[in-house]
Structure 1
Amino acid sequence: MEVISLSQDKNNFKDSPEWTKYEDTKDQFIQSIAKNMTLYGITPSIGRLYGSLYFSEEPMTLDDMRDSLGMSKTSMSTGVRTLSDMKMVEPVFKRGIRKDLYRTEKDWYKSFTALFSRQWKKGTETNIEEADEAKMELEQLYKETEDEELKEKIENDLERLAYARNYYMWLLQFVDVVESGKIFDLVPKRDDLERS
């Protein structure tokens, strides 16, 4: 089975074992990026698009992306929009070129804080709402029931809900620390380009 390079520049392809090894190694890393981006709700195909853009020497048009990844222009457009909304891709202007050009946001720290904050804040706020709603319903049931065993169960569950809510409030504080950039005071960025 022939392996199709995800990041291969077809106009500058070098047909030697060294170049093949180079392309294969790069593509393997792009596949890893794509797989792990599902943690943030990004599909593997959009993850591969991001990886391909990240390793591109020049900004790419939708046609370039389509040729590189073998996907439809519509898929590329949707992927770029998704990545742009997540602040992972940005448009680029180049004099004399009419087509839209895109490149990745080079600052992964910035991308991570935007993406992490958005995903976790949304989920956490939903969980707080659900916990509050469950608490109200259980408190109402507690007032209405005569069943002592059920009352005891409700008391225990209300304690669990209070613990869960406190955890979610802490998580929102953590998200705020990430979103505001204060996280880098605690865990500094690694900008030394150290190869280990």
Structure 2
Amino acid sequence: MSKKEQLEALESAKNTVIRSIAETMDLYGVTPSIGRLYGTMYFRRESMTLDEMKDELGMSKPSMSTAVRALQEIDMMKKTWSKGSRKDQFVSEKDFFKFFFQFFCKMWEREVKINLDAINQTRTEIKELLKQNDLDEEVREEAEHSLKLITDSTHYYYWLEDLVKSFHSGDIFDLVPIPEKETESE
């Protein structure tokens, strides 16, 4: 097999992973084309400029800029400095565990804050409503039922808050250890 054929075989093999990454990126709120960019950058040893990425993927510079920004927002790509270069350089996050923690913890923390704030506000409003002496019995029953539901739901948000803390502290690995890395011979 010639060197050219070997390189083509290697690119074909890497493209299988790139396609699978692109296919699953909707989980993180990004499009397949942004996933292809991430997959391509994942295999790169060195940083790339927007122009290099644009040429590699055949996308327009504005589309590439948007894609890079989207990946930076979810901590999958970061800007780096390269001596002698005046253009911005970018590298992908290669540590999936680090990315997972950053992405999901950020989402879960947002979910907890938004929903606990809403629950606390709603609790206050319902309790005020329940203080009314002339409250219709049907409205009172519905208010009490609603108050019980939202109070019960806080258990989930406090659990989720504890889960996030276990990721930040590393305690999660006591329950679910990171498996040993595979070697090439496996």
Shorter chain as denominator, the TM-score bin is: 0.7 to 0.9
Is residue 182 of structure 2 the alignment partner of residue 188 of structure 1? no
The farther-off stretch of 173-182 and 58-67 is 173-182
Contact 1:50 1:104 in 2 (8 A): yes
Taking a change above 3 Å as real, the CA distance of residues 117 and 127 of structure 1, as seen in their structure-2 partners, is: same
TM-score, with normalisation over the residues of structure 2? 0.81
The residue type equivalent to 1:83 in the other structure is: L
Q: For residues 21 and 141 of structure 1, what CA distance do their matches in structure 2 show?
A: 70
Is residue 31 of structure 2 the alignment partner of residue 43 of structure 1? yes
Is residue 170 of structure 2 the alignment partner of residue 177 of structure 1? no
Please give the per-residue CA displacement for 1:80-117, whole angstroms capped at 9, x wherever unaligned. Answer: 23323433223344444333222212222111111111
Q: Secondary structure at the match of 2:131?
A: helix
Q: For residues 78 and 173 of structure 2, what CA distance do their matches in structure 1 show?
A: 23
Is residue 112 of structure 2 the alignment partner of residue 121 of structure 1? no
The residue type equivalent to 1:82 in the other structure is: A
Is residue 130 of structure 2 the alignment partner of residue 153 of structure 1? no
TM-score, with normalisation over the residues of structure 1? 0.78
Is residue 51 of structure 2 the alignment partner of residue 63 of structure 1? yes
What is the match of residue 155 of structure 2? 166
Q: For residues 10 and 129 of structure 2, what CA distance do their matches in structure 1 show?
A: 65
Q: For residues 111 and 23 of structure 2, what CA distance do their matches in structure 1 show?
A: 21
Which of 82, 96, 101 is the matching residue for 1:108?
A: 96
Contact 1:40 1:116 in 2 (8 A): no
Please list every run of 5 or more consecutive structure 1 residues that lacks an aligned counterpart in the other structure.
Answer: 1-12
Please list every run of 5 or more consecutive structure 2 residues that lacks an aligned counterpart in the other structure.
Answer: none
What is the match of residue 9 of structure 1? none
Q: Secondary structure at the match of 1:91?
A: strand
Q: Secondary structure at the match of 1:103?
A: strand
Q: For residues 82 and 144 of structure 2, what CA distance do their matches in structure 1 show?
A: 65
What is the RMSD of the two structures over their aligned residues, measured on CA atoms? 2.5
Q: Secondary structure at the match of 2:91?
A: strand
